[in-house]
């Protein structure tokens, strides 16, 4: 069973997170997050073979409260 990440404050989030981390955080499927990255709804940088999402982008998502399903 996968351990759930509980974030009590945005300060607890690392500077950059990977796709599985943001999937747990936003309760979205990995394919959904990758699609949102590809269409520009979530800003991310590809470092090597891994997508990294900056902390300020996560803060933006939380502040906007958009529907990403």
Residue 1 covered by a domain: no
How many folded domains does the chain comprise? 1
Q: Which two tokens stand for residue 33?
A: 């997050």
Residue 2 covered by a domain: no
Q: Which two tokens stand for residue 57?
A: 């982008």
For residue 54, pLDDT over 60 is answered with yes
Using one digit for the tens of pLDDT, what is the confidence trace for 7-49? 667 777 888 999 999 998 888 999 999 999 999 999 999 999 9
Range of the domain at 56: 14-64
Residue 37 covered by a domain: yes
**What is the spatial distance between Cα 19 and Cα 29, in angstroms, rounded to a whole number?**
10
Which CATH number fits the domain that encloses residue 46?
1.10.10
Residue 28 covered by a domain: yes
Residue 46 covered by a domain: yes
Residue with the two structure tokens 């409260």: 65
Residue 3 covered by a domain: no
Question: Would you state the pLDDT for residue 3?
Answer: 55
For residue 4, pLDDT over 90 is answered with no
Q: Which H helix or E strand runs over 61?
A: helix 55-64
pLDDT band for position 1 (cuts 50, 70, 90): very low
Cα of first residue to Cα of last residue in the chain, in angstroms, is 24
Question: Would you state the pLDDT for residue 6?
Answer: 62
For residue 24, how many other CB atoms are within 10 A of its CB? 16
């Amino acid at each position: 069973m996968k351990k759930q990440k509980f974030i009590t404050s945005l300060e607890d989030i690392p500077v950059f997170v990977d796709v599985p981390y943001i999937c747990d955080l936003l309760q979205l499927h990995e394919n959904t997050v990758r699609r949102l990255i590809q269409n520009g709804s979530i800003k991310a940088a590809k470092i090597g073979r891994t997508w990294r999402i900056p902390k300020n982008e996560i803060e933006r998502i939380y502040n906007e409260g958009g529907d990403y399903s």
